[in-house]
Amino acid sequence: MKEFEMKRNQEQGGVMVFVVLILGVLAGFAALAIDISRARDQDRLINWATDSAALAGVAKLIVPGALDADVTAEARALALANGLNDTELTNGGGIQIGSWNSTTKVFVANGSPKNAVRVGAKRAVPTLLGRLMKQYTVNPRVDSIAMASAGTAACLKPFGIETEMLGNVSLLQSFTIGGKGDAQSAPGNWGKVDIGDDNMSSGPVFEDAMLNGVCGTELHIGDTVSPGTGFAGLRDAFNTLYSLGQTTMFVALVDAFPNGNSGMATIQGFAKILLQGPTTGGGSNWTAQFKLLGLYNSPEEAGTAGTARTLVR
């Protein structure tokens, strides 16, 4: 009897040891699952932050006159706002400006053309099971690359603004332009410019060109254009654009409109403007309010500024 009880106690002890071992293994798997889940969650979080930072950086990159320091500062600001810190950015490779080749899928830091921003980050995530093996952290590392497409030349509206009219206008500031009768804000003669192969003096031709834009022009600073005469189509074109919601447009900046159509106007730059409302007045007293969105040296530069920014990695 005593021998039977002794064997029974030994069996119970063996079962207890087995149960403890099983529970230990299950606890280990649970801890491992928690470690993996936390690492994946943190990976998603820092990837979200680097995506946002890269997109913000490339948006700044295509702003005319933006410096590399401006691009880096913009990307860093978004990274920090989304939970990253400078140590995590540094450990992940930091913020780099360079060139992305869409064919080879290769990013070259400081490469040319500068069309992309890379943001890398690495985060130390504390472990549970890993501590038993002296692995106190897992370190998910991600990087995001955003690229601005090369861009095509912006389609210009056949309308010009005298450069001096924007002399005291800052970016994102509103301004008013009008017809010849408004000496303080007039674009010059009539505002029409003959770009492309058509004569913008014709109301229907001008309206069609304003609605569709004149694309593929090879205008550059220093080129000369002839002004279109008359007010035909001016108010109708702007009011139609406003009613359709097509309020953002690229226009030429010229030195001065000649009197009548007896001379030429010289291109001095290009501007991106926003029509803020329908025109008022009529004839030589028409006016419209705009907001200045950007200044550019060429239609190509303006076109790049108008392209979408996309994540490529």
- At 215-259, the pLDDT tens digits run 767 778 888 888 877 777 788 888 888 888 888 888 888 887 766
Mean pLDDT across the chain, nearest whole number? 77
* One domain, residues 169 and 65: no
* One domain, residues 162 and 239: yes
* One domain, residues 312 and 225: no
Per the structure, the complete domain to which residue 58 belongs is given by 40-151+306-313
* Overall domain count for the chain: 2
Q: Does residue 15 sit within a domain?
A: no
Size of the chain, expressed as the number of residues it contains? 313
The H or E element containing residue 174 is: strand 174-178
* One domain, residues 94 and 225: no
Q: Does residue 18 sit within a domain?
A: no
* One domain, residues 163 and 266: yes
* One domain, residues 264 and 241: yes
* One domain, residues 269 and 206: yes
Q: Which of 110-124, 175-189, 192-206, 293-307 has the lowest mean pLDDT?
A: 175-189
DSSP label of 133: G
Query: Which has the higher per-residue pLDDT, 34 or 161?
Result: 161
* One domain, residues 98 and 229: no
pLDDT per position as a tens digit, 264-303: 888 888 888 888 999 887 766 778 889 888 887 777 666 5
* One domain, residues 131 and 234: no
Q: Tabulate helix, strand, coil % of the chain (nearest 5).
A: 40, 25, 35
Q: Does residue 34 sit within a domain?
A: no
Q: Does residue 276 sit within a domain?
A: yes
Question: Does the structure show a pLDDT above 50 at 115?
Answer: yes
Angle at 296 between CA 178 and CA 231, to 5 degrees: 25
Q: Read off the pLDDT band of 34 (50, 70, 90).
A: low
Rounded CA gap, 6 and 125, in Å?
50
**pLDDT, mean of residues 143-161:** 76
Question: Does the structure show a pLDDT above 60 at 124?
Answer: yes
pLDDT per position as a tens digit, 44-78: 889 888 988 998 898 888 776 678 899 999 999 99
Rounded CA gap, 82 and 21, in Å?
43
Q: Does residue 9 sit within a domain?
A: no
* One domain, residues 111 and 200: no
Structure confidence at residue 94 (pLDDT) = 93
* One domain, residues 105 and 200: no
Rounded CA gap, 134 and 136, in Å?
6
Q: Does residue 32 sit within a domain?
A: no
Q: Does residue 13 sit within a domain?
A: no
Structure confidence at residue 27 (pLDDT) = 54
Compute and round to an integer the Cα radius of gyration of the chain. Answer: 32
pLDDT per position as a tens digit, 36-50: 777 787 788 898 889
Count CB atoms within 10 A of the CB of residue 259: 11
* One domain, residues 101 and 169: no
pTM score: 0.50
Q: Does residue 82 sit within a domain?
A: yes
DSSP label of 166: G
